[in-house]
Amino acid sequence: MPIGKPITNVCLGVLPMDNEKDFLQFLENYDKLQFAFIRQEYEKMNRQKILDQTKIWKATDGRWKAYVDVAGKRRLIAKSSRAALEDEIIEFYKDPKIKFKECFEPWADEKLQYGEIQKSTYDRYQADFKRFIHNTELENKEIKKIDELFLENFIRKTISDNKLTAKAWGNLRTLIIGTMVYARKHGYTDFRISLFMSELQLSNRMFEKRIVKDEEQVFTQDEESRIEKYIADNPDMMGLGVALTFCTGLRVGEVAALKWSDYMGDFLSVTRTEIKYIGEHGERIADVRESTKGREGHRQVILNDTAVSIIEKLKAYTGDQEWMFARDGQRIKAKWLSLEITKLCKLLNLPHRSFHKIRKTYATKLINAGVAEKIITKQMGHTEILTTKQFYYFNNEQVSEIKERLNKV
């Protein structure tokens, strides 16, 4: 029956209705017919609109192909006939079957695009995804089919199989939360990841424990003295960079990004750092970012007399150049400073320790010296003293010194 055609007396006259009940039944069926017709026409129109907006072509292999949009990226689909391809396209838009990895990629891309993370952090996200999620059931799991039981089993199995530390779990947790929040915002799932994580109970016993020995984390007072004496007897730009770090606790990337304009007599203005990331062609790039790792992005470090003396000696090497550590106008990269402490440890027959261990040594000295906590956090670029005490404070006294202290108890 055509849409909109009125129910006239003539129409009623030809229909077999003996009573009022039959008449009402007719009206009910008439409305159903109208609704079904409208829905059919709407779906036909919507189908054609989708197909008109989709480029379809017949490939050289004889199959019909088209690209569909998946979370901002294109996915190629192919069928043996055009009709089958068109049905597949329509079915896809009805139920796109978005996979976990197809939400992870745009989530990470958006964070980089909007400046929420640096390229180095983006590269770490990619590396963590490859390490924890690639080639697992989660990677290609449909977002809408991820439930609490599946996700909890995946997390527990991943922690167990990979012997993850609490820190490594934190990195994986970031990826899962970010991806699932992205999926929910775009209507691919109703799963509330924040509620799930708040109720997830993981015992500390699950995580791999790394035994950290104090002597491996900091330089002893004797070792520091030997390094400083060698640098004083054999001064060069790189050695002075190491010596300056023992007096300031700067990160290696911060040292490598210092300019002479940052030196203000009693202070060093620490406003930038070197960052590393992978370029478009897979090359490793070391660049300078106009902010540091700390929350505020900059700080002023108070210089003691030794630090001032070291900086004055540095002027003989690079005082007329923009960068404090440079050769022929080119900035010295952080990796060369890192190699310098490796070289010094080898020359002096000391156990190898990374450049970051100098920063931990500096933090330990500040705490041992009873420096006010507010000053310590500012010098280190930390928000809370708990960070310094928990991750940067280690005993740097020799056994003989400790025994002497204990004998006085």
Alpha helices in 293-333 (DSSP H): 305-318
| pLDDT value for 38 | 58
Residue 61: helix, strand or coil by DSSP? coil
| 228: CB partners within 8 A, 6+ apart | 243, 246
Residues 6+ apart with CB under 8 A from 42: none
Is the pLDDT confidence value at 347 over 50? Answer: yes
pLDDT in tens, 239-255: 999 999 999 999 999 99
pLDDT attached to residue 72 = 66
pLDDT in tens, 216-233: 899 999 999 999 999 999
Fold of the domain built from segment(s) 217-407: hpI Integrase; Chain A (1.10.443)
Q: For the chain, give the percent of residues with pLDDT over 70.
A: 85
Q: For the ranges 132-136, 198-202, 383-387, which has the lowest average pLDDT?
A: 383-387
Which pLDDT does position 51 carry in this prediction?
80
Distance CA 254, CA 65 (A): 52
Res 333: pLDDT: 95
Q: Where are the domains of the chain?
A: 9-52, 56-94, 100-201, 217-407
With beta carbons less than 8 A apart as the criterion, state whether 191 and 184 touch: yes
270 backbone dihedrals φ, ψ, rounded to 5°: -100, 100
- The predicted pLDDT at position 21 comes to 64
Query: 280-305 pLDDT, tens per residue?
Result: 778 888 899 898 887 778 899 999 99
Sign of CA dihedral 240, 243, 245, 247: negative
Topology (CATH level 3) of domain 100-201: DNA polymerase; domain 1 (1.10.150)
The pLDDT mean for the chain works out to 86
